[in-house]
Chains A and B, each alone.
Chain A
């Protein structure tokens, strides 16, 4: 294993000198991604500008057995791009070229470092846009979106990244360049495109993508409904969907978030409401009005205090600005917070929120809730102060309990943020040993030497055993034939 001083020489044939960072000062900005609770310096940061440079780097890493963590903008919230001290951080943000906007076949051909919002901006002149819109879309890159199968407000109606991806070109750990997918509606063989989407940089390194573009809705409306009870807002969500309306976006915010967002950007939110729903509708002809009527009626039937349709495009934008500012806005209330990410069947919303409130009271840390209500994707924000000894651990404890609660009601430990390093323990709750072993075999079928993002996503058997507080009787380990490492 090379040391830091050997890195510039080792990669000198792959990259210009200035694209190899090894000094402590230059590495410091890369010590964590959006999951800031843990930090460590990588061996080096490499900044390739071409696909060939990526291939050369991978081949060098393989021959020297150097682990690789890939990163774009580093906005991920689960530590999926957290650096490791004995590995390089491969930053693909310089592969940020929009290679083609094909308006006839409606796709954008882009490098992994292109920002999510930049795709829609470039497609705008053709009346097209890219639908998946994570809250961080102004900064996050499409490479990261593919690695995490990101969602966002519009994925209830228009799907996640996996539904909006046509083709990717990736480099394998052997340095082979492979393109999978096409400009067609289907592709032959196993669905490796779907398998790589959301694989958190564990299987291959993506260097190009073709993403689907949709026509921009010409008519849309945004409704803000306020409720005195969170449960009523939850019931309204179920009723809207059961009634046959699939909104373009359906978001819920609790009182803590409403107040913080209102204070942050003056969106016109009712700060006395226990919860608000933001519902975006788009449609053709009279169907838009029919949907507005349906949503209004269902909210009223669910005891809404007020139902207000945005007057114009400016007010629509303001409503969404409040929602998109929820995460930064909460920074006014607390020095630190953990943003959790679990998904539940919507019918359990009231129960889950009530349990979260109980956990919050038990442990003495406040929790605010903002979520993609339409698809049951919760984002509890657990507030803590890292300067107070033990508070981070307490926040992690609640976070873990919330995710386990999601699993217990039939949901999942991550809807769109990924597992990263944050949710390794909870993987042992959601999956049994055989399933984790199958994941391990999938990993090995792409990366047998475990050089790509090691230590992420799939917990070791030992970790599961320890997390599950395995009972050891008279020194005899259960399943003693299993390898433990």
Chain B
């Protein structure tokens, strides 16, 4: 199907849904269906809209259709010594570009490179009225009109169906090594936060089971120099280690317990929540497996200026994502109406009230 035929078909489906007031549930690779709220609605399968549309290594961007597999994008970038700087997770091989942008999850490099939303240059969408809209573009600087592109990041498809996305890419480091230091959590947090104020070429940190892992990126001579400054032991299979971590393939993430994703100011000491935890992003992202009462965890996190998301759970829970203030909720609802006045697209997928 040609691009214009696809857009026409998609617009027609959404217009029809508007007419019948029947909501649509957008489905790509289905690799993150566990994340956010479950909803009941007619399925709108967008996984067949695939292909890399444009890639210019010297311009530092890639443009691809929403259903394109993340793995395909990373493969072509790898062949040109480039990468997605936000190092997105793949929770299954079916992970697509559209889902990655809709959920806006970033991987281990986030604290030292970019977040998912930082890398979006432009998006094409079909909004809830069935209108095809193009925002942003392929250049790094663009302030024409409102930044509707970044508004789509993490919106769970509630404002529009993403059809095409342009992302900023970056050169891959020459090499990366990972060193491990046995240390307690307090010392780990102190060290990680001290390093953020230096020029050390760190590209990721992770703390679990009293071991702090530090990934260093650069020329071989610079990683060697940084290793000498930091100390610790080099671990084998550095690449696999970080891939397994970002894709939740490590033992820590194999659990039946509710898994919490807590975003918190880096320097915050350990959270008093019963359960096993690990830390990423210099302590700015904490994963906790815990059977503690949901509301208690949320309340505790609020007190500590943290945002608690119930990332994965077997129980039927509404509004798993970190909550937002009532006055901001009002702006959300206004924006939802501005893009999707009849609440056709993924209603309730992000928050039950939106």
Residues of A within 8 A of B (CB): 103-106, 126-128, 148-149, 151, 155-156, 159-160, 162-163, 176, 178, 180, 182-192, 194-195, 197-199, 202-203, 215, 217-219, 238-239, 241-242, 244-246, 283-287, 290, 343-347, 372, 375-377, 410-419, 423, 427, 430-432, 434-439, 441-446, 457-458
Contacts and interface: CB of A to CB of B under 8 A. Distances in A.
12 contacts: A106-B197, A160-B141, A176-B327, A186-B307, A191-B150, A198-B143, A198-B146, A284-B226, A286-B222, A412-B139, A439-B146, A445-B335
A410 B138 contact: yes
Interface stretch (B107-115, B246-254, B271-279): B107-115
Contact of B197 (A128, A159, A344): A128
Given A199-B146, A345-B138, A188 B199 contact: no
Contacts of B305: 182-184
A344 B138 CA distance: 9
B141 A377 contact: yes
A200 to B, nearest CB: 8
Nearest to B153: A191
Contacts of A160: 140-141
A347 B193 contact: no
A169 to B, nearest CB: 12
Interface stretch (B45-53, B54-62, B66-74): B54-62
Interface string B287-304: 000000000000000000
A287 B143 contact: no
B37 interface: no
Nearest to A127: B197
Given A238-B58, A377-B141, A416-B143, 8 more contacts: A148-B143, A183-B265, A183-B305, A188-B321, A215-B197, A411-B137, A431-B145, A435-B135
A106 B196 CA distance: 9
B186 interface: no
Interface stretch (B16-24, B125-133, B176-184): B125-133
B39 interface: no
B200 interface: yes
Contacts of A219: 199
Given A190-B154, A195-B150, A241-B58, A285 B226 contact: yes
Contacts of A458: 145
Contacts of B196: 106, 215
A191 B323 CA distance: 14
A189 B226 contact: no
B143 A191 contact: no
A343 B150 contact: no
A241 B80 CA distance: 12
B219 A442 contact: no
Contact of A411 (B139, B263, B324): B139
B199 A217 contact: yes
Given A284-B226, A377-B141, A416-B143, A191 B151 contact: yes
Contacts of B197: 103, 106, 126-128, 215
Interface residues of B, number: 82
A194 B150 contact: yes
A323 B116 CA distance: 33
B79 interface: no
Contacts of A246: 170-171
B315 interface: no
B147 interface: yes
A147 B110 CA distance: 26
Given A287-B219, A418-B143, A438 B323 contact: no
B331 A446 contact: yes
B322 interface: yes
Contacts of A438: 127, 131, 133, 148, 338-339
A432 B135 CA distance: 10
A104 to B, nearest CB: 5
B265 A427 contact: no
A106 B195 CA distance: 12
A190 B350 CA distance: 10
Contacts of B81: 244
Interface in B211-238: 218-219, 221-222, 225-226
A343 B139 contact: yes
B328 A162 contact: no
Given A185-B115, A442-B148, A434 B133 contact: yes
A431 B142 CA distance: 13
Contacts of A345: 56, 59, 138-139
B56 to A, nearest CB: 7
A457 B143 CA distance: 10
B134 interface: yes
A284 to B, nearest CB: 5
Contacts of B221: 285-286
Contacts of B142: 343, 412, 414-415
B43 interface: no
Contacts of A162: 118, 147, 150
Nearest to B325: A178
Contacts of A375: 139-141
A451 to B, nearest CB: 16
B144 A414 contact: yes
Nearest to B111: A185
Given A162-B147, A285-B221, A438-B133, A188 B339 contact: no
B207 interface: no
Top 4 A-B pairs ranked by shortest CB distance?
A445-B334, A415-B141, A194-B150, A242-B58
B312 interface: no
Contacts of B56: 345, 347
Contacts of A439: 145-146, 148
A283 B199 CA distance: 8
A156 B140 contact: yes
Contacts of A218: 199
B64 interface: no
